[in-house]
Structure 1
Amino acid sequence: MATAVRKTNWFAIWVSIAAVVVLVAVTGIVIAINNKASAPGAAPSGSIIDTDAGAVVFGDTGAANVIETYVDFLCPFCNQFEQSEGEQIKQLVDDGTAVLKVHPVTILDEYTSPAGYSSRAASAFFAVAAADPDNAYAFMQAMYENQPEEQSAGLTADQIVQVAQNAGVNVTSDLKTAITNNSYQSFAQSKGLPADAQGTPTVIVNGTSVKWAQGAGFDFATDITPLLK
């Protein structure tokens, strides 16, 4: 009996190889996209920036008291806090009683149309703090004074640049580019609130969270002063 000759099915082999190549390529693309989404992006640096903490630091780091605020530039309660308590906290910083660490967070990014104002504003804050630390606090105050409403488009890059200039910031071409390009947006988005925080503003004085109710606001004398050394 004649023995049947087994023919190699090269077509099937090449189809299988092609499928594997495509699968590997798709997997690589997915991994690259995921890595890009989770990457913190360029980190700001400067004399008043704590990169690890994602904070802009005002005052003497050796001060007896540490006040930390977690704020969103779109948050109306953060604006309320700045208007009611900001000057008293700034006085503590100016006289060396406390150091203030401001953490700009981006929890309200989806509350503008298009989304992203919170992180654009935080990016601009980091950019100003890196380029002109002496005027970063004034810029922060000015951003609250020009705070857009939720569900609006938010301030444009040009408007943020104008806010900075009006606040006395030395807006160089490099700083304008950093604001316009949202250079630290991904970095800002990679930071967040402390684990036990319920919203913004979150205020921590010497490691103790200040308890407050939204709408009721803070009272410096009863909520913050007792926690100071």
Structure 2
Amino acid sequence: MMMAAVRKSTNWFAIGVTAAALVIVLIVGGVVWFANSQATSPGTLPESSAVNTENGAIAIGSGAKSVDTYVDFMCPVCNSFEQAYGPTLQQLADDGTITLNIHPIAILDRLSQGTQYSTRAANAAYCVAVDDPANVSAYVKALYAQQPKENTAGLDDATLASIATSAGASDSVASCISDGTYTRFVTAMTAKTPLQANATSIATPTIAVNGVTLNNQSDLTGDPQKDIVDRLDG
């Protein structure tokens, strides 16, 4: 006697539950990936012939040798560095000896009563560079000339914009500054600041001559000839 073949029924319910669970896993994974990418993304890039969007440098001059300065515009030591070394660096850039790469970074936001002045000032520097890089040097000097004290609110956006137009920028720079267009870019570039020798955290100013990072304690004596010019030739 022949036995009837047993037909196995397909459990569509179980398949449906499994498929739904897989979709949920994919969606959650996608959300996590998107959130992580947004957190680390540099956001809007400052498109300018003078800005290196990989490391955040704003280039002044076009010399074969290089000096990189990583500065926070609320940092009083950065201001002191500017007063002592700025004229020499500007001359070296003007005469074609160096490319001066200014990296506006933000490590002192905690000292501006919640206004994030360091980030806002750095953003403003990029706004000026995008508007017309020829005005960056004048703007940087003006920011130092009107540098707020630590633990104050810092300059407001309207003042940052006014200083920019006084340095030669167009009126359109005001919206870039007030919108914080390059805020995320500043944050991303700050994280790329090189550490000084034996340091465990970022410090400002950080200076690199021909790619070699100097130590503020031992390599910056206040003598531009010894500390910068001689190293360019070394």
Normalised to the residue count of structure 1, the TM-score between the two structures is 0.81
Counterpart in the other structure of 1:66: 66
Q: Which residue of 2 is the match for residue 46 of structure 1? A: 48
Q: How far, CA to CA, are the matches of 1:115 and 1:160 in structure 2?
A: 13
Query: In the alignment, what sits opposite 1:102?
Result: 102
- Shift of the 22–101 alpha-carbon distance from structure 1 to 2, 3 Å rule, reads same
Equivalent in the alignment of 2:158: 158
Unaligned runs of 5+ in 2: 1-19
1:179 aligns with 2:177: yes
CA positional deviation for 1:176: 1.4
Deviation at 1:31, TM superposition (A): 5.0
| 1:55 and 2:57 matched | yes
SS across alignment from 1:190? helix
Q: Give the 3 Å change call, closer, same or farther, for CA 35–147 of structure 1 in structure 2.
A: same
Once residues 202 and 78 of structure 1 are traced to their aligned partners in structure 2, the CA distance between those partners, rounded to angstroms, is 9
- Structure 2 CA distance for partners of 1:211 and 1:20, relative to 1, 3 Å: closer
Distance 1:28 1:64, change over 3 A: closer
Asked whether the 8 Å contact 1:66–1:101 carries over to 2, the reply is yes
State how far apart, in whole Å, the 1-side matches of 2:24 and 2:210 are: 55
Partner SS for 1:218: coil
Give 1:25 deviation, angstroms. Answer: 7.4
Shift of 1:105: 1.1
Taking the aligned partners of 1:83 and 1:227, their CA distance within structure 2 comes to: 20
Specify the SS of the correspondent of 1:203.
Answer: strand
Are the counterparts in 1 of residues 165 and 171 from structure 2 also a CA contact under 8 Å? Answer: no
CA RMSD of aligned residues (A): 2.7
Aligned length: 214
Unaligned stretches of 5+ in structure 1? 1-17
Between the aligned partners of 1:143 and 1:122, the Cα distance in structure 2 is 10
Deviation string for 1:163-216 (max 9, x for gaps)? 11222x23232x2111110100100100131144641111111122233329x8
1:17-41 CA distance string (max 9 Å, x none): x999999877766554443222211
**SS of corresponding position for 1:150:** coil
Q: Is the CA contact (8 Å cut-off) linking 1:80 and 1:217 kept in structure 2? A: no
Contact 1:210 1:224 in 2 (8 A): no
TM normalised by structure 2 equals 0.79
The 1-side partners of 2:232 and 2:37 are apart by: 42
User: Equivalents in 2 of 1:42, 1:152: separation in Å?
Assistant: 28
Matches for 1:70-219 after TM superposition, within 5 Å: 70-167=70-167, 169-173=168-172, 175-191=173-189, 192-196=192-196, 198=199, 199-213=203-217, 218-219=222-223
Q: Give distance in 2, aligned partners of 1:149 and 1:202.
A: 20
> Quick check: 2:196–2:206 contact (8 Å CA) kept in 1?
no
The 10-residue stretch of structure 1 (108-117 or 127-136) with the greater mean CA deviation from structure 2: 108-117
Deviation per CA, 1:57-115: give whole Å up to 9, x if none: 0001xx23211111111111111000111011100111111110111111112221114
1:37 is the counterpart of 2:36: no
- Closer/same/farther in 2, CA of residues 226 and 152 from structure 1, 3 Å limit: same
Displacement of 1:146 in angstroms is 1.1
1:153 aligned counterpart, secondary structure? coil
Q: Which residue of 1 aligns with 2:230?
A: 226
Counterpart CA distance in 2 for 1:128 and 1:156 is: 16
- Which stretch of the first structure deviates more once superposed, 122-131 or 28-37? 28-37
Report if aligned partners of 2:105, 2:119 keep a CA contact under 8 Å in 1: yes
Take 2:125 and 2:144, find their aligned partners in 1: how far apart are those partners?
Answer: 12
Q: Distance in 1 between matches of 2:213 and 2:113?
A: 32
